[in-house]
Structure 1
Amino acid sequence: MCASMDRKAFLTLLGLGGVAVASRLSGFAAPLGVLAPGKPAPSDFHFVQLSDTHWGYHGPANPDAAGTLPRAIEAVNGLAHPPDFIVFTGDLTHDTDDPKERRARMARFKELVAGLAVKRRYFLPGEHDAGADQGEAFRELFGPTHYTFDHGGFHFIALDNVSAPGSKLGAAQLSWLAEDLARLDHGQPLVVFAHRPLFDLYPDWDWATLDGADALALLQPFRYVTVFYGHIHQQHHVMTGHIAHHAAASLIFPLPAPGSQPKRAPVPWDPAAPYRGLGLRDLDARAGSKARPAAEVPFTDLPLVQP
């Protein structure tokens, strides 16, 4: 792949027939001057979000389950402008009851993503990675399940709403989040990553976080908050007050719209349109943009690329 590949070529390659979606947020950064005195102003950068790779899956919903992640890696490496960092928002691997196989899948996933040219990579667990052992194997191979980092004038928060039994964050993590936020000015732009949605999207399908409302209450005083998550295997965009939530497509198989059928099940593979509904997200933060902050701006998808 040519190192100077542009975004249209990137979409074409990843789409494998016009089905992958890369997305951009205009005005994702908070406007210059909103930060507290002495704080660095936001700067231009972009990052890539990948989600729900489910390495180790075998089944009819994706006959090329072993091929999609390597193709995504190749596509990201071919971007003309490499992202500042890459974040994987959970379900790196497909679940298994065998602890040895769980670690083997994680090790193979880690080996594959080591081929990414961008070395700054962040990982969150999904319930397929962490539900069976409360995140033990994930921590062994990838480190903490929740953490923070700062980049380009933004404060990034990675939450773990999968390791604790019951689809929740838990009291200890909520206390940690409260302590982290207490030291920040309310004008500080925040980006939150999670696997499950923090709001009640469709609890009957486990598309919710039991104590997600407690986390959102802690985030509510901040003027610029955007949440990126996975889990639901499709793009979905909603506001809870002034907080914007954006779900990402999966790299393994799509799932149906919330509540659109009696049971949650993968959308059947279509040989006539392979890879339909799969994709990743490429996001810009533009400090000099005249657009409103991301928490107030609708998320805009680039059109699907046809073969």
Structure 2
Amino acid sequence: MDRREFLRLGAVGGGAVFISGLYGPALAAAGGEDFYFVQLSDSHWGYKGPANPDAQNTLKQAVERVNALPAPPEFIVFTGDLTHTTDDPAERRRRMAEFKEIVAGLKVKEIHFLPGEHDASLDKGAAYQEFFGPTHYSFDHKGVHFIAIDNVSDPGARIGEAQLAWLKADLATQAQDARIVVITHRPLFDLAPQWDWATRDGAQAIALLMPYANVTVFYGHIHQENHHMSGHIAHHAAKSLIFPLPAPASQEKRTPLPWDDAAPARGLGFREVEAQARTGFQITELPVVKG
């Protein structure tokens, strides 16, 4: 069974497969190759509470699930909230060390990490950087330019002038038809600002990205699948690995959805993203527990 057939069958089984804003002809013209990666998000390692009584096992189940995929991804992106927030700096580092030890079991050559506000907002990313390196960076993979944006280390939910200047300079190295993927934690657009589901200067980042024809954004934070367009820029939110949250602004508070003993993994999951040289991005949503 080849990759495309596997993805098609995965969609029949309940995942969503569709084409994103990365246009295949441009990728093919640049000599790009097919590849696929996995997005994981919001494991909140260290969480204890009724929203997930099995919190000690969910991340480990996700690792097992990814390792059991028919073909290993070329890399994994983890879009923030690796650990659950704590006021104790020593406990924060202990959780990060435990998280890093668990995900070291992933059978993949590369993992690209991003902080979430639970990891970074209380110390401006100091502990995160000790364990995982820079909070923003870029890299290239088979004709696609990936940009990691940090919109969480600033406790005011801003990217900040310095990082926006860095983003502008990084984009200046790319052609107008470059294939660009942005990975970040919070949404760059105003999804539900009253729930902290926004980035205060996200519009400035989108404005910098707008001149580029082929941009796709993958983010976390909202603990559910969500799809949004800013002009031609596609934004895709990932499910969580700890507990789902309600639909944007559907109630007064963003309290986690109740735990269901009959379906403990309901609303939890991760995604595969295949960059295809001829057709663009295919996205497949997968549950944490196969079944």
Q: Shared fold (TM-score greater than 0.5)?
A: yes
Give the superposition deviation at 1:120.
0.5
Give the superposition deviation at 1:171.
0.3
Relative contact order, higher structure (CA 8 A, sep 6+): 1
Give the superposition deviation at 1:141.
0.4
Pair 1:117 & 2:107 matched: yes
Give the superposition deviation at 1:305.
9.4
In structure 2, do the counterparts of structure 1 residues 7 and 71 end up closer, same or farther at CA, with 3 Å as the change threshold? farther
What are the within-5 Å matches in structure 2 for residues 111-150 of structure 1?
A: 111-150=101-140
Q: Return the alpha-carbon distance in structure 1 between the equivalents of residues 10 and 193 of structure 2.
A: 35
Q: Return the alpha-carbon distance in structure 2 between the equivalents of residues 267 and 60 of structure 1.
A: 10
TM-score (norm. length: structure 2): 0.91
In structure 2, do the counterparts of structure 1 residues 304 and 53 end up closer, same or farther at CA, with 3 Å as the change threshold? closer
TM-score (norm. length: structure 1): 0.86
Partner SS for 2:189: coil
Pair 1:30 & 2:20 matched: no
Are the equivalent residues in 1 in contact too, given 2:20–2:234 (CA < 8 A)?
A: no
Are the equivalent residues in 2 in contact too, given 1:148–1:155 (CA < 8 A)?
A: yes
| Partner amino acid, structure 2, of 1:288 | R
For 1:219, the equivalent position in structure 2 comes to 209
Are the equivalent residues in 2 in contact too, given 1:194–1:229 (CA < 8 A)?
A: yes
Partner SS for 2:268: coil
For 1:229, the equivalent position in structure 2 comes to 219
For 1:68, the equivalent position in structure 2 comes to 58
For 2:43, the equivalent position in structure 1 comes to 53
| Partner amino acid, structure 2, of 1:124 | L
Q: State the Cα deviation string for residues 28-61 of structure 1 (Å, max 9, x = none).
A: 653345688xxx4221000000000000000000
In structure 2, do the counterparts of structure 1 residues 122 and 23 end up closer, same or farther at CA, with 3 Å as the change threshold? farther
Give the superposition deviation at 1:249.
0.3
Q: Return the alpha-carbon distance in structure 1 between the equivalents of residues 21 and 127 of structure 2.
A: 34
Pair 1:177 & 2:173 matched: no
Q: State the Cα deviation string for residues 193-234 of structure 1 (Å, max 9, x = none).
A: 000000000000000000000000000000000000000000
What percent of counterpart residues are identical?
61
For 2:70, the equivalent position in structure 1 comes to 80
Q: Return the alpha-carbon distance in structure 2 between the equivalents of residues 23 and 48 of structure 1.
A: 14
Q: Return the alpha-carbon distance in structure 2 between the equivalents of residues 194 and 22 of structure 1.
A: 22
Pair 1:210 & 2:200 matched: yes
What count of residue pairs does the alignment treat as equivalent? Answer: 285
Question: Which stretch has the larger CA shift, 25-34 or 82-91?
Answer: 25-34
Q: Return the alpha-carbon distance in structure 2 between the equivalents of residues 260 and 24 of structure 1.
A: 26
For 1:196, the equivalent position in structure 2 comes to 186
In structure 2, do the counterparts of structure 1 residues 194 and 71 end up closer, same or farther at CA, with 3 Å as the change threshold? same
Q: Return the alpha-carbon distance in structure 2 between the equivalents of residues 241 and 24 of structure 1.
A: 21
What are the within-5 Å matches in structure 2 for residues 248-267 of structure 1?
A: 248-267=238-257
* Ranges in structure 1 where 5+ consecutive residues have no aligned partner: 1-5, 12-17
Give the superposition deviation at 1:9.
10
| Greater than 6 Å deviation, 4+ residue runs | 6-11, 302-306
Which residue of 259, 267, 276 maps to 2:266? Answer: 276
Q: Return the alpha-carbon distance in structure 1 between the equivalents of residues 31 and 153 of structure 2.
A: 35
In structure 2, do the counterparts of structure 1 residues 278 and 8 end up closer, same or farther at CA, with 3 Å as the change threshold? farther
Are the equivalent residues in 2 in contact too, given 1:255–1:264 (CA < 8 A)?
A: yes
| Partner amino acid, structure 2, of 1:199 | F
Q: Return the alpha-carbon distance in structure 2 between the equivalents of residues 24 and 154 of structure 1.
A: 20
In structure 2, do the counterparts of structure 1 residues 35 and 186 end up closer, same or farther at CA, with 3 Å as the change threshold? farther
Q: State the Cα deviation string for residues 101-146 of structure 1 (Å, max 9, x = none).
A: 0000000000000001102000000000001100000000000000
